């Protein structure tokens, strides 16, 4: 286990280095600069600003300095949010995005698995068709359309929830549901197909022949093996959902990290763009590592050393 985790951490660090390098040079190759849109800034002031932030240094000096800063968990100052660092913006916005994403993740996993299991146990019946219609709608409808529909129906029409804002828990339901709709639908379809495959295996037929009840067979034998593909999907899903959605946060006026990221792109705030990108990448890589470990714990046949299945 220790050898496997150590190897995965090395791969994570190499992947992170590639992401940091690609982001850095993409930002450097983009036209304009962080002070291009500044109004009434003389060339002298612009030169002084670039010197102050080290933008007049050779690219290799800027690159090595940035790598050193990241190693110390210092993403540097923001060019547009005066007096604030990128770390400050992450500290302010990420807890909000995390709360929204965690609620959406719980909704997506719980409802998705329930729908998938119900559909598989009632194959080719109305329960199956109804669950899959919901899944198709969830996958087909973009999140911003889903958000608008939820706002109109549940907030404006029936007044059950606030239209937008971020004040108490009741403000979180609509954006979390809009964010969870697509992954919920995907998990439902994935669970259904996996359950149908598991239910056709010989050991399920043997369990039925032994006289075990349907609930025991489903809970103790079928669901555990059927969830392996779902667990594999949870890594990238958790990373994307837990960091929130830029579009959803904008629509519902949520002060999460997505708002800072969108603003930084329009303002060419290099340090914020790179810092948030690196931060999201770390969450993604750590989530994938955790899911790999959980996958091995669920299926004892998987040898964690090398990640190969054994007999």
Whole-number pLDDT of residue 107: 92
Specify burial of residue 266 (Cβ count, 10 A radius: 0-12, 13-18, 19+). Answer: exposed
For residue 62, pLDDT beyond 80: yes
Say if residues 272 and 86 touch (Cβ distance below 8 Å): yes
pLDDT digit string (tens) for 78-112?
Answer: 877 778 889 998 898 888 888 888 899 899 999 99
pLDDT digit string (tens) for 22-32?
Answer: 988 888 787 76
Q: How far apart are CA 223 and CA 227, in angstroms?
A: 6
β-partners of residue 308 are: 303
- Nearest alpha-carbon partner for 223 in 307, 128, 126, 298: 298
Query: In the chain, which ranges are continuous DSSP H helix?
Result: 2-29, 43-52, 59-71, 86-121, 126-140, 143-150, 173-199, 202-209, 214-216, 223-226, 228-242, 246-251, 257-266, 270-298
Residue 310 pLDDT grade (very low, low, confident, very high; cuts 50, 70, 90)? very low
Say if residues 80 and 269 touch (Cβ distance below 8 Å): yes
- Among 60-64, 138-142, 165-169, 229-233, the minimum mean pLDDT is found in 229-233
Whole-number pLDDT of residue 130: 92
Q: What tokens does 237 get? A: 């899903």
Residue 308 pLDDT grade (very low, low, confident, very high; cuts 50, 70, 90)? very low
Residue 248 pLDDT grade (very low, low, confident, very high; cuts 50, 70, 90)? confident
For residue 156, pLDDT beyond 80: yes
Summarize the confidence of residues 216-238 as an average pLDDT.
Answer: 78
β-partners of residue 85 are: 77
- Among 10-19, 114-123, 164-173, 212-221, the minimum mean pLDDT is found in 212-221
**What one-character DSSP code corresponds to residue 254?**
-
Indicate the SS3 state at residue 210. coil
Specify burial of residue 188 (Cβ count, 10 A radius: 0-12, 13-18, 19+). Answer: buried
For the entire predicted model, the pTM comes to: 0.78
- Nearest alpha-carbon partner for 84 in 260, 282, 274: 260
CATH architecture, range 86-309: Orthogonal Bundle (1.10)
For residue 305, pLDDT beyond 50: no
Backbone φ, ψ for residue 276 (5° rounding): -65, -40
For residue 39, pLDDT beyond 70: no
């Amino acid at each position: 286990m220790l050898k496997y985790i150590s190897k995965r951490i090395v791969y994570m660090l190499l992947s992170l280095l590639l992401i940091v390098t690609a982001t850095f040079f993409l930002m450097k190759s983009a036209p304009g600069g962080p002070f291009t849109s500044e109004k009434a800034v003389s060339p002298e002031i612009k030169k002084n600003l670039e010197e102050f932030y080290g933008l007049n240094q050779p690219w290799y000096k800027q690159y090595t300095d940035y790598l050193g800063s990241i190693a110390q968990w210092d993403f540097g100052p923001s060019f547009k949010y005066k007096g604030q660092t990128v770390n400050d913006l992450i500290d302010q916005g990420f807890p909000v995005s995390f709360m929204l994403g965690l609620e959406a993740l719980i909704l997506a996993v719980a409802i998705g698995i329930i729908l998938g299991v119900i559909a598989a146990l009632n194959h080719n019946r109305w329960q199956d068709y109804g669950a899959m219609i919901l899944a198709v709608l969830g996958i087909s409808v973009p999140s911003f359309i889903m958000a608008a529909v939820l706002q109109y129906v549940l907030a404006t029409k029936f007044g059950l929830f606030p239209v937008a804002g971020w004040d108490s828990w009741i403000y979180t339901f609509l954006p979390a549901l809009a964010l969870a709709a697509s992954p919920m639908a995907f998990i439902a379809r994935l669970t259904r197909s996996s359950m149908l495959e598991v239910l056709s295996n010989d050991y399920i037929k043997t369990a039925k022949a032994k006289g075990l009840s349907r609930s025991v067979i489903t809970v103790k034998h079928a669901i555990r093996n059927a969830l392996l593909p779902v667990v594999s999907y949870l890594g990238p899903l958790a990373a994307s959902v837990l960091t929130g959605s830029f579009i959803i946060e904008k629509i519902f006026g949520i002060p999460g990290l997505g708002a800072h990221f969108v603003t930084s792109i329009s303002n060419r705030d290099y340090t914020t763009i790179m810092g948030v990108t690196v931060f999201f990448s770390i969450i993604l890589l750590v989530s994938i590592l955790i899911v790999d470990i959980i996958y091995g714990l669920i299926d004892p046949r998987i040898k964690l050393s090398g990640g190969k299945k054994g007999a």
